[in-house]
Homo-oligomer: A and B are copies of this chain.
Amino acid sequence: MKTPLRLLKQISATLLFTLIALTFSPTQAADGKPNFIVIFADDLGYGDLSCFGHPTITTPNLDQMAAEGQKWTNFYVAACVCTPSRAGLLTGRLPIRNGMCSDTRRVLFPNSAGGLPPTEITIAKFLKQNGYQTAAIGKWHLGHLPQYLPTSHGFDSYYGIPYSNDMDRIVKGSNVDLANKEDYKAYDLPLMRNTEVIERPVDQRTITKRYTEEAVKFIHHAQEKGDSAKPYFIYLAHNLPHVPLFRSEKFKDSSLAGIYGDVIAEIDWSVGQVMKAVKETSEKSPHSQTYVIFTSDNGPWLTYKTHGGSAGLLRDGKGSTWEGGMREPTAMWAWPKQVNSGVVQEMGSTLDLLPTFASLMGAKLPNDRTYDGYDLSPVLLGTGPSQRKEMFYYHGAQLFAVRSGQYKAHFKTKTSYVKGKKMEEHNPPLLYHLGHDPSEKYDISKDHPDIIEKIKQLAAEHKAGIKPVKNQLLGKIEG
C-alpha cells in the first residue's frame, strides 16, 4: 500500500517529469532522423521468451519492451538458416536474388570464399549515405574475407565474431559436452575489431556481455553532441543462443531452464542495457527518437535438445520451412515517442526493416533493384495496416512454401537436421490455415482448390521475377 509520503513523492516526480517534458518537448525535429537499433539473436525459438509463453525462461526486459511497444506474433525471417537470413535482413531482398543461399552448403563456413556481393546495399550503407553513424557488433556470417566484412558494407566499425560460434572447432566432442565443460578453447574462433583479429580463441563466456558493453558505449558516444549528433544505426547480432552455449559468471545457474535459460537471461539483460542507454541519452538529446527491434535469425536448433530452444506451439525449428523454422518472437519499441503499443497479429518480416527505416527517416530506396520488403511504419505509428500479405519460404535455393493471408501452401517439405529424412513433394500442396491452426496440424488442401490455385499463381509470378545470379555459398578458399 502506498503511504501518503510515497504518494507525495510520486506527485513530485510526476510534476518534475512533466515540467521536463514541457521544457524539452520530446518530439522528433521536423528534419531530424531517428536512430535505429536491431538486436538479432541466433537460433532463438518462437517460444523462448516469457511473453511468448515460456514457463521457465525469465525475460523481464523483453517482456517490458513488448508490453510498452509492439509484440509481433507473425513476424518472419528471410530464410530458415543463418547466412541467408542475415543477408535478407540487411538488404531487404530475398537471398535468392544475390546468391546468398544454396541447397548443399546452406551457410558460409570458415573455408568459404564468398560473401554478400559488394553491389548489395545494406541498411548500413543506405543509412550511411543518408548521414548516419553505423556500427556492426556481433555475429556477421556474410563473408569473412576483407571485401565482405561489415566495414566493406557500410558499417563505420565492426566488433565481433565473423561467423557461427560452433565453427573453427579444434577439439573433438559434442557442442553440448564442450559447453557443459565451458571449453571455449575447443573453438579457435576469432574476435575481430574492424578487419583485424584481436583475440583468438575468443572467450565466449563473456561475449554477450562484451557485445552489450560495446553497444552501450556506442550509444553514449554517438549522442555526445546532443541534438547536433548524427543519427545512428546499430546492428547488434548476438552469437547466442546458438550452440555451444556460454554465459558470463553472473548468469550461471540463474535460470530454472538450465544453461539455455541462463543464456537467454543474459541476452534479456543485454536488451535492458540497450533500452537503458537509449533512455539516458535521450534525456541529453531531447529531439532524438530511437527505434529498437528485437528478433532472431531462425528457429531453434531442436537437434540440441535442452541446449536448443523451443518453437512453442509452432511446428519444427531451424532449417525447416514449417513455421517453427522461420517465425520469430519479435518486439518493436521506440523512445521517447512510443510506437502504437499492443500485440500485432499482422505479418511482418526482417525483409521489411530496410523499407521501414527508409520511410521513418524520409528517404527513398534506390529503384535499380527488386526489394522484397514492405514499409511497416504505418503499423509502428498506428496509422495503417501492414502491407505484407504474403511470405515466401525458401529452403536453400528452392521455394518450399508460400503464405497468402492466413493460408500457407507447402509445395515441398523436409524435416530439418534428421538423418535419412528426405524432401517430400506435395501435389496438391499441403494447405494450412495459420490463423485457426498455427501448429500446422490439419491439412485442408482438399477443401480449398481455389486457394491452392491462387497460391500456385502467386508462386509462379514470384519465380518469374527471380533472375539467375552467381552463388556465393559454394566457393571455397583454395589451398
Contacts and interface: CB of A to CB of B under 8 A. Distances in A.
Contacts of A366: none
A312 interface: yes
A31 B12 CA distance: 33
Interface stretch (A1-9, A226-234, A385-393, A446-454): A1-9
B1 A27 contact: yes
B1 A7 contact: no
Given A256-B345, A305-B442, 7 more contacts: A1-B27, A4-B22, A7-B21, A7-B22, A55-B434, A55-B438, A257-B435
A343 B442 contact: no
List the number of copies, as a whole number. 2
A36 interface: no
A131 interface: no
Contacts of A258: 433, 435-436
A406 B306 CA distance: 14
A433 B346 CA distance: 35
Interface stretch (A45-53, A108-116, A419-427): A45-53
Contacts of A51: 51, 53
A15 interface: yes
B313 A54 contact: yes
Interface in A197-225: none
Contacts of A257: 435-436
A434 B73 contact: no
A14 interface: yes
Nearest to A405: B256
A35 interface: no
Given A26-B1, A55-B345, A310 B47 contact: no
A319 B21 CA distance: 56
Q: How large is the interface on A (under 10, 10 to 19, 20 to 34, 35 or more residues)?
A: 35 or more
A357 interface: no
A265 to B, nearest CB: 12
Contacts of A11: 14-15, 18
Interface string A32-70: 000000000000001100111111101010010001000
Contacts of A55: 73-74, 313, 327, 345, 434, 438
A441 B25 CA distance: 53
Interface of A: 1-2, 4, 7, 10-11, 14-15, 18, 21-22, 25-27, 46-47, 50-56, 58, 60, 63, 67, 73-74, 255-258, 260-261, 305-306, 310-313, 327, 337, 342-343, 345, 406, 433-439, 441-442
Which of A58, A260, A313, A438 is packed against the most chain B CB atoms within 10 Å?
A: A313
A305 B441 contact: yes
Given A436-B258, A442-B305, A343 B73 contact: no
A306 B437 contact: yes
26 contacts: A1-B26, A1-B337, A4-B22, A7-B22, A10-B18, A11-B15, A46-B53, A47-B312, A50-B343, A53-B54, A54-B313, A54-B438, A55-B327, A55-B345, A56-B74, A56-B345, A56-B435, A58-B343, A63-B343, A67-B67, A257-B435, A258-B433, A305-B437, A306-B437, A310-B313, A313-B313
A330 to B, nearest CB: 11
Given A1-B27, A256-B345, A438 B22 contact: no
Contacts of A7: 18, 21-22
Contacts of A53: 46-47, 51-54, 312-313
Nearest to A14: B14
Nearest to A314: B55
A187 B305 CA distance: 46
A224 B307 CA distance: 57
A58 B22 contact: no
A53 B312 CA distance: 8
A100 to B, nearest CB: 28
A449 B313 CA distance: 32
Nearest to A438: B55
Contacts of A310: 313, 438-439
Contacts of A4: 22, 25
Residue in A54, A58, A305 whose Cβ sees the most chain B Cβ within 10 Å: A54
Q: Which of A63, A67, A256 has the most CB atoms of chain B within a 10 A radius of its CB?
A: A256
A351 B1 CA distance: 28
Given A21-B7, A337-B1, A436 B14 contact: no
